[in-house]
Amino acid sequence: MHLLVLGATGRTGVYACQYALEQGHHVTAIVRNISAISPRDNLTIVRGSVLSEQDMDSVFRSAQEPIDAVVQCLNTSSLSPPRLMADAAANVARALRQHRSRKDGVLPRLVVMSAIGVGESRKVAPWLSNLLVDYHSGTAMIYKDHNELDEEIEKNCGAEVDWTLALAVGLKNSGRLPVRTFGPQESGASWFISRQSCAEWMVDVAMGMEKDEFKNRRVIVSN
């Protein structure tokens, strides 16, 4: 299968690319700086912006094999466009709808990394996370983007793209660990998940390894 990764040079996205390639999939990465990612077999590197409709359409049109799924591992900062995650997801969902090529009735999949505390998951988010959102302007700005993504995902995907929002708890570097999943208002998640295990879970969902268990759902993920 063919997977497109957004945020492939980030700390979580690198694991998504690596794992998908290990599983025998073809991976395309759209990046601003092509020197930031090392060439590998079955990896196509395209220079472009995830916010540009023209760049995104070019990725889909030039693909030697149709793109079956997308994993978005973007994160935002004070230097990012204010709607980086929300607009990137809207852009790639539009491209998935427009360039849909499978004739067997299987819909393309979009799996997007978000964060616990977004939308209805705020009720079960760690108190420290909610405190930062309420009183730290930088965190509040990041969560504004997350919440706009959360509010718009169904509209952007419609009935033509299967989607999953991975509401990750705190991300850390601790290797491959078992992943636990919870509904968006379900308690029990730990405070952390490793970037590697979060990325690999997202790839498994995107490539259909989890069947339809997480189809069109918001899912809290933790170790």
User: What is the bridge-based pairing of β-strands 69-72 and 170-172?
Assistant: unpaired
Q: What is the pLDDT of residue 193?
A: 98
CA 163 to chain centre: 10
Give CA–CA dist 21/91, Å, rounded: 24
Span of 37-46, 56-65, 76-85, 210-219 with lowest mean pLDDT: 76-85
Q: 104: how many CB neighbours lie within 10 A of its CB? A: 4
Query: Would you list the domain boundaries of the chain?
Result: 2-222
Span of 56-65, 79-88, 94-103, 193-202 with lowest mean pLDDT: 94-103
Task: Give the pLDDT confidence of 18-65 residue by residue, as tens digits.
Answer: 999 999 999 999 999 999 999 999 999 999 999 999 999 999 999 999
Task: Give the pLDDT confidence of 156-201 residue by residue, as tens digits.
Answer: 999 999 999 999 999 999 999 999 999 999 999 999 999 999 999 9
Backbone angles phi, psi at 34, to 5 degrees: -70, -20
Q: Apex CA 77: angle with CA 49 and CA 123, to 5°?
A: 115
Q: 207: how many CB neighbours lie within 10 A of its CB? A: 20
**HSE of 55, CA atoms in CB hemisphere, 13 A:** 15
104 pLDDT more than 80: no
3-state secondary structure of 138: helix
Give CA–CA dist 158/48, Å, rounded: 25
Q: What is the pLDDT of residue 79?
A: 83
Q: What is the pLDDT of residue 46?
A: 97
Confidence label for 76 from pLDDT (cuts 50, 70 and 90): confident
Higher pLDDT, 149 or 79: 149
- State the average pLDDT for the chain: 95
- When pLDDT is averaged across residues 201-216 and rounded to a whole number, the result is 97
CA 192 to chain centre: 17
Tokens linked to 58: 């070019």
Q: How is 11-35 classified by DSSP, letter by letter?
A: TTHHHHHHHHHHTT-EEEEEES-GG
Task: Give the pLDDT confidence of 121-164 residue by residue, as tens digits.
Answer: 999 998 888 898 888 888 899 999 999 999 999 999 999 999 99
Is the domain spanning 2-222 CATH 3.40.50.720? The answer is yes
Q: What is the pLDDT of residue 172?
A: 96
Whole-angstrom CA distances from 96 to 55, 150, 198 are 13, 18, 23
101 pLDDT more than 80: no
Whole-angstrom CA distances from 65 to 92, 167, 217 are 17, 30, 27
Q: What is the pLDDT of residue 133?
A: 84
Tokens linked to 108: 């393309």
Tokens linked to 121: 């998951």
Handedness of CA 211, 213, 218, 222 (dihedral sign): negative
